[in-house]
Amino acid sequence: MPEAEKLRVKTLGEARFASPLRLGPPLPGYVDDRTRVAYEIECIEGEARPEQLYFEAGGPREQLFFEPTQVTAGIVTCGGLCPGINNVVRSLVLELHHKYGVPRILGFRYGYEGLTRQGVPPVELTPAAVAHIHQQGGSLLGQSRGKQEAAAMVDRLQDLGVNVLFPVGGDGTLRGAHAIAEEAARRGAPIAVVGVPKTIDNDVAYVDRCFGFETAVEIARQAVDAAHVEALATRNGVGLVKVMGRDAGFIAAAATLASREVNFCLVPEIPFRLDGPRGLLAALEQRLEHRSHAVIVVAEGCGAALLGDAAERDASGNLRYGSADLDIGMHLREAITRHFKARNRPLSLKYIDPSYMIRSVAANASDSIFCDALARHAVHAALAGKTDMIVGRWHRRFTHIPLDLVTSSHKRMDPTGETWFAVTEATGQPHLA
């Protein structure tokens, strides 16, 4: 549980300009800046409760720090691809242009590399430029991994007169956004930095959902269902599906629950072993003896146990789970095949890795709606002078969360929580340790 002071959102100064939005009956009104969203919503009757903590509520403010017609906004997308990036970019542009009258919006190319003087020049983002991008996967602005110096990025923002920046990305992106905000504050530069959290893995702390996750689960479920069909078609058929999830198994768990055809779900938060009487291979043998087919879903992060710190890393410092030595899907395929061959038992194994399909598709309906809401709330926060924060959602209410808090931890699946309990109920799998 965070400390109360850690939930306090920074502002650039007094909000002195009237919002151009015209809200109120019959439309919802402005959100009072004192409105809060409770951190905890449950308690045990009769037990003493700790001091309640609150997030600052998101939404449009009646008074703004910036005069919108004097704003130059910047948008940058970083990290890996994710369904919904283009939706967020489009909605940021449309809200800034049509609702607030911001005259100039720049799109920085290829991640934080584009926020340096050596990067590709930014592009002007207009409603016409983003009119149809929400129908496509990927990112109009491109993406990249790797760190850049905060001072160099703030230099570039000041060169271009950018006073509102929207970084769209995951953990590494948000750490970079925090560094930009701190460097701007050190210089006394009034630059609002408001992040939009993006990670397919759904592992951003203090956020109940990240955009792209529901689309990822939908595509992953299709792969799982295909694996089930393949497994049913042969005697001792095994369908093995590897899905994304570096350190958190939310996609694997949700796809398992959506499909209802999975027999073994393997996630990074729950240790498992391959060998021994209680290991996966023994449990798989028993499953095939009784039902003649099985489906296994594994999150890519399970491969970390194979190499740990010795594994190859990408430019952002993340383990390369697709590398040959760390690919848990290939490792399981070979281990299962070897195990049954040694016992002279027939086996037909089909391996499916839909990772890049999951990353690159357009957002589904649910994610499209969510992306638009995140983008609009980010614009409201930035023009009100909020900075060094992200827009998130908690208990289905949009919130403002400080970047130093968000980047201090990660969300993981609770081995004793409802989600993992539901997975074990759906699969019937034993404890594989």
With CA atoms as reference, report the closest residue to 379 among 65, 6, 45: 65
What's the angle, vertex CA 417, arms to CA 415 and CA 421, rounded to 5?
80
- CA 358 vs CA 17, 355, 362: distances in Å: 43, 5, 9
Helix intervals (H) in 310-402: 328-342, 355-360, 365-383
Catalytically annotated residue among 33, 159, 171, 201: 201
Report the DSSP pairing between strands 192-197 and 237-243.
unpaired
**Is 201 annotated in the active site?**
yes
**What DSSP character marks residue 95?**
I
Token digits of residue 4: 């109360």
Q: Could you say which DSSP state residue 33 is in?
A: T
> What is the DSSP track for 274-305?
SSSTTSHHHHHHHHHHHHSEEEEEEEGGGGHH
Contacts for 244 with CB less than 8 Å, ≥ 6 apart: 200, 201, 216, 251, 299, 300, 355, 358, 359
Positions annotated as catalytic residues are: 201
